[in-house]
Amino acid sequence: MESPAPKPILFNFWKHHLSFLLDKIRIYPQKIDYEALSSTMKLIGNSTTDLYTGKMNIPEISEFCIMKLKENHRFEKVTYIRWIKQNPESYREIVFPDHSIWILKIGTEKDRHIHIHPGRNVTHTVRVKANILKTAYLANLFAFKDHQSPMDIHLINALRNDVLGLSPIKFVTMNHELGKMIYLFAHNLGIIDIT
């Protein structure tokens, strides 16, 4: 899949950008391809992730990052890598105009040496387990397409089984991490009935 982030930015938007996920739900074809969906969900990975919930889109995030690096003469690959490695932890932080904090690391993909992702426990960022994020995304995708509640336990368990290969859950409430993540998606999609 072509990245909406310009080179040399490496950014996994599937696991780090809420608005990107919401847009994918809005434009997803009515006919659901389960195999393609299962493959796409693997892009989110299996570990805990930090999801950016702010208003900046991927090109804006990328352009701001590039601008700041150029201003400080750290954009070119050799200079950038040297700068990152000067930190014993091999990463740097950058503060964005919306007060979100982003982490810069060394990218491993060809032509993408600037790896960025949202910071942990900072403004406009939610920390979430990968399987929770996948389940919330899928529940809202199907709810949005079929005009049903994303909190429907039968829908959630069918998706967890058929698409994600995960065990069923007994219930979901707004007090649990999954319920909160489902609501975050539903609220932003304008899904009113989430009971």
What's the pLDDT tens digit per position in 75-116?
Answer: 999 999 999 999 999 999 999 999 999 999 999 999 999 999
pTM above 0.75, yes or no: yes
> How are beta strands 48-52 and 125-129 bridged, if at all?
antiparallel
User: 127 to each of 118, 122, 169, 176, how far by Cα in Å?
Assistant: 10, 9, 21, 14
What's the pLDDT tens digit per position in 106-152?
Answer: 999 999 999 999 999 999 999 999 999 999 999 999 999 998 899 99
Burial class of residue 134 in the structure, from the number of CB atoms within 10 Å of its CB (0-12 exposed, 13-18 middle, 19+ buried):
buried
Structure tokens at 110: 């060809």
pLDDT at 1: 60
> How are beta strands 9-10 and 112-118 bridged, if at all?
parallel
Q: Tokens 């707004």, residue?
A: 174
